[in-house]
Amino acid sequence: MSDAPKKTDAEWREQLTAEQYAVTRQCGTEPPFTGMYWDCHDDGMYRCVCCDSPLFNSSTKFESGSGWPSFFAPEHAERVLIKRDTTHGMVRDEVCCKQCGAHLGHVFPDGPKPTGLRYCINSASLNLVKK
């Protein structure tokens, strides 16, 4: 994470909706096919709902069929942090916002070219700024 000022739990709860807080601050997951961006086709930049860091460009979004917004690459690799996640009896790679530590989702090695990666991201962790 960056050297940005850290917020208290109370400050995060005040800033975020209950769902945004559960996903980003408690590593939750929204149910598939329910988030506002899973079927969104608008052009723009997907930014972190917690700190406004630009994370994913709509030009890298693709239809994965998973029920969550999926991207084949972040806007800038240095803006995301990948951590090993061994919760729920699985081994996965968690994707977090490097600026504020928000849980965004997970990345899997089954995406399209050119990266072969699928960043499976919760809508609740994102804010789309349309072009």
pLDDT tens for each residue of 80-108: 999 998 888 888 999 999 999 999 999 99
* pLDDT of 5 above 80: no
Q: CATH code at 20? A: 2.170.150.20
Look at residue 3 and tell me if it is in a domain.
no
Look at residue 92 and tell me if it is in a domain.
yes
Q: Which amino acid is at 40?
A: C
Q: Give the number of C-alpha atoms closer than 13 A to the C-alpha of residue 45, restricted to the C-beta side.
A: 9
* pLDDT of 4 above 80: no
Reported as a single tens digit per residue, the pLDDT across 71-80 is: 999 999 999 9
* pLDDT of 60 above 90: yes
Reported as a single tens digit per residue, the pLDDT across 11-39 is: 999 999 999 999 999 999 999 999 999 99
Look at residue 68 and tell me if it is in a domain.
yes
Look at residue 2 and tell me if it is in a domain.
no
Q: Give the pLDDT score at 93.
A: 95
Domain of 114, in residue numbers? 9-130
| Average pLDDT of the residues in 102-116 | 96
Look at residue 1 and tell me if it is in a domain.
no
- Prior bond of 112 cis (ω within 30°): no
Look at residue 21 and tell me if it is in a domain.
yes
Residue 120 annotated in active site = yes
3-state secondary structure of 115: coil
Which residue(s) pair with 100 in the sheet? none
* pLDDT of 3 above 90: no
Look at residue 4 and tell me if it is in a domain.
no
Q: Which of 50, 97, 100, 120 is catalytic?
A: 120
How many domains would you assign to the chain?
A: 1
Q: How confident is the model at residue 1 (pLDDT cuts 50, 70, 90)?
A: low
Look at residue 91 and tell me if it is in a domain.
yes
Global pTM value? 0.93
- Evaluate whether 94 touches 19 at the Cβ level (below 8 Å): no
